[in-house]
Structure 1
Amino acid sequence: MNRGLIDARGSPCAPISVRQGRFRGASCLQDVFDDLEENPDGSVVSTLLRPSSKLIGTRQQFSSDFEAGSCGVIRLSDDLFVLNTNVSFTKGALAAVTGQDFIELHFRLSGRLSLYPEIPGNETVDVDKGALLVWRQPEGMNVMERLEANEPESSMTIYLRPSALERYFGDYTATLPSAVATGLAPQGNGLFFLRMACYPKLIELVRELWSLGIETGRDLVRGEALVMMVLCEIMSMLEDAHNDSTNICRLSDIDVRCLRKAREHICSQYTPPPTIDELAKAVGLSATKLKSGFKALFGKSISQFANELRMQHALDLLRKSDNSILFVAEALGYEYQNSFTVAFRRHFKILPKDYKRDPLILSHRR
């Protein structure tokens, strides 16, 4: 595998990467973060002074024969940064990204991220739209990033040092997978990567942060609040995955494709949902791998995911005045109306008849 960036003529050129930034031709992210106060040419910069800190935001448009797009950076502290990118490349290439000991939370909004760790035994890591990748790249360790031609890419990455997690969450190492703290896989023979799918609440927060204007100090405060909300959601996800961290790390690309196929299968059949054995056979995974992998990748169990789909469909059916509760129960695959009523009340804390009488009752309770 080629370990350097190759331009269209086949000649080596200076490393460049979406994750390295493009401000003033900086060679590494830390240079980008350190130089924010110098107001790079062509960027919009906003600052907010506080008694013991300064928030900084900057954005740059760029266009060349190789790439076109924009990058934005928010610096919340010396150990916490946000990088938003929206870019496309005219030529495909590989870019070397040198580790700087950041914990990275990468959200893929469009396009695909492909990483090639320069460690024997490490597989290619692909991250598609709607996914979250968590990893920590040790100081000096190289990872190659593939830049795809003519494929628009947008992403948001939160870069933070362990000190930032400790400042906000205390002894985070006690509740998270140990590999987050070390950057190395539990087997000790490779770089740690944790792939998760983003659920709607998290995607909404990420998109709001990605599209945030940074022209004023108030924008930066709002960005800081959104980052804290995103971090809280991710910390919760990581804590839930703590006991299954070994299984998560061993999910192959084939496993991920099978698990996504399982999710699609459930989305098309949840009234009632398929059994674990039926689903495992349909996607080509063992029942054990299916259950642990689904929870690891999507943040909830198969039964939780299917039940949420089922209950949301129940709301849609109950809003139609000509649908009786018995009809809704049968449409969702319940043998008895009472079984549906119990399930609905357990999920929403109200009875189906109360929701049917006043659909706004749920918004009043939230």
Structure 2
Amino acid sequence: MGDLLTSRADVRDIYSGFAGEADDGPRALRPGPAASARLPVQDGAGYWDVMRLYDYLLVCVADSSYNDHYTLPIRSPEDLVSLRFVAAGGIGLHDAGPNAVRVEKGYASVLTLPAGGDYDLHIHGRERLASLTLHLHAGHLARVMGMEPDELPRALRDIDRPGQGFHHLGMRLTHGMQAAVRDIVNASFQGSLRQRYLEAKVMEMLCLLVDSVETSEQGERLAPALRRSERDSLYEARDILIAEFAEPPTIDTLARRVGLNRTKLQRGFKEVFGTTIFDFCLARRMDLARELLAGGGLTISEIAETVGYEHATNFTAAFRRRFNSLPKDYRRG
């Protein structure tokens, strides 16, 4: 697997054993310090912990903040399943095509990354990121839990199969998931004791995930599996919103333009992209606003108008809610 975080040799050692075929033998912890590394954030504060618990399971714990927007190119040389649980901040990921996912505070994402894919990972600057990310070889989610594949809920079983292409399932963190992420981020264990602790907490998190998805399916709160034509329509809707985010169409208008009913559009958009249509447009507005503020060529009123706000005061309030900073302070920083 490519180096997700840095070019440092110690991290390459961790990832080198993660690429290629996973051992078919019984689960065993990777021994010793060569299986883990703590990476201090160079342009900001905090750290990333990277640990290879098994040949087919890589764990990344982040408690960090960057001074500026951070973009990291990553590669998936084989089919991978990435699970992200975000307790603070947000993480975005997109490829060179139409596929994009944004995981905000209080949400989880289960994402299949097809073999050979190149992606950009995006982390907002000037806000704390607290998250847990698990990377598994596709087809090993049930294995790491000691289950048979057909024991997984349908939605997870479908994602965990190799050869699925880019596939995404988003959901809110349950209270148990949020508590588990906070426990992991705040834990002070070191060395082999930290490995044992992470193994237990990762298993807890996976159990909470399976239980949440299973409960949703039993309660019929997850939409039925999307047909290919419906998924194509959702990507078309996403592309329309990218082009028209400053003045987005209404839900009903967007639904008519892509040939879906209102309910299918809203539920399907959340399932595929892990966010609501409103939050998707807001994120696009705020990301562009930060870029324009950093560029320094426009006044705050002009930036507000560019990203779709008639009044600069409304823009300032929205910017502050999202980034805990006023636009003028962000520009000075």
Partner of 1:95: 72
Correspondence 1:30 to 2:15: yes
Alpha-carbon separation, structure 1, partners of 2:267 and 2:129:
30
Partner of 1:136: 112
Shift of 1:27: 6.1
Q: Secondary structure at the match of 1:54?
A: coil
Cα separation, partners in 2 of 1:132 and 1:204, compared to 1, 3 Å: same
Cα separation, partners in 2 of 1:288 and 1:78, compared to 1, 3 Å: same
Matching residue within 150, 166, 169 for 2:147: 169
Cα separation, partners in 2 of 1:77 and 1:91, compared to 1, 3 Å: same
Cα separation, partners in 2 of 1:68 and 1:231, compared to 1, 3 Å: same
* Alignment gaps of 5+ in structure 2: 20-25, 240-250, 275-333
Matching residue within 182, 192, 210 for 2:185: 210
Alignment of 1:176-195 (within 5 A): 176=155, 178-182=158-162, 184=164, 191-195=166-170
Alpha-carbon separation, structure 2, partners of 1:84 and 1:146:
16
Matching residue within 71, 75, 79 for 2:48: 71
Alpha-carbon separation, structure 2, partners of 1:211 and 1:248:
39
CA contact (8 A) 1:212 1:223 kept: no
Alignment length (residue pairs): 233
Q: Secondary structure at the match of 2:140?
A: helix
CA contact (8 A) 2:41 2:48 kept: no
CA contact (8 A) 1:175 1:242 kept: no
Q: TM-score, normalised on structure 1?
A: 0.51
Q: Deviations over 1:197-223 (max 9, x none)?
A: 111122112222233333254443332
Q: TM-score, normalised on structure 2?
A: 0.55
CA contact (8 A) 1:180 1:192 kept: no
Q: Deviations over 1:87-107 (max 9, x none)?
A: 222343532210143211011
Cα separation, partners in 2 of 1:214 and 1:136, compared to 1, 3 Å: farther
Cα separation, partners in 2 of 1:288 and 1:129, compared to 1, 3 Å: same
Alpha-carbon separation, structure 1, partners of 2:153 and 2:177:
24
Alpha-carbon separation, structure 2, partners of 1:160 and 1:248:
25
* Alignment gaps of 5+ in structure 1: 1-14, 35-50, 186-190, 255-279, 300-366
Alignment of 1:8-157 (within 5 A): 19-20=4-5, 23-24=8-9, 26=11, 30-31=15-16, 53-56=28-31, 58-64=36-42, 66-100=43-77, 101-119=79-97, 122-157=98-133
Alpha-carbon separation, structure 2, partners of 1:201 and 1:237:
10
Q: Which amino acid aligns with 1:71?
A: W
Alpha-carbon separation, structure 1, partners of 2:94 and 2:69:
15
The structure number with the bigger radius of gyration is: 1
Structure 1 stretch 205-214 or stretch 285-294: which is displaced more?
285-294
Q: Deviations over 1:56-95 (max 9, x none)?
A: 563425253x344212133321112211012222343532
Q: Which amino acid aligns with 1:75?
A: R
Correspondence 1:227 to 2:202: yes
Cα separation, partners in 2 of 1:244 and 1:204, compared to 1, 3 Å: farther
Alpha-carbon separation, structure 1, partners of 2:181 and 2:74:
24
Partner of 1:160: 136
Q: Which amino acid aligns with 2:71?
A: L
Cα separation, partners in 2 of 1:62 and 1:205, compared to 1, 3 Å: closer
Alpha-carbon separation, structure 1, partners of 2:69 and 2:39:
20
Alignment of 1:244-259 (within 5 A): 244=225, 250=234
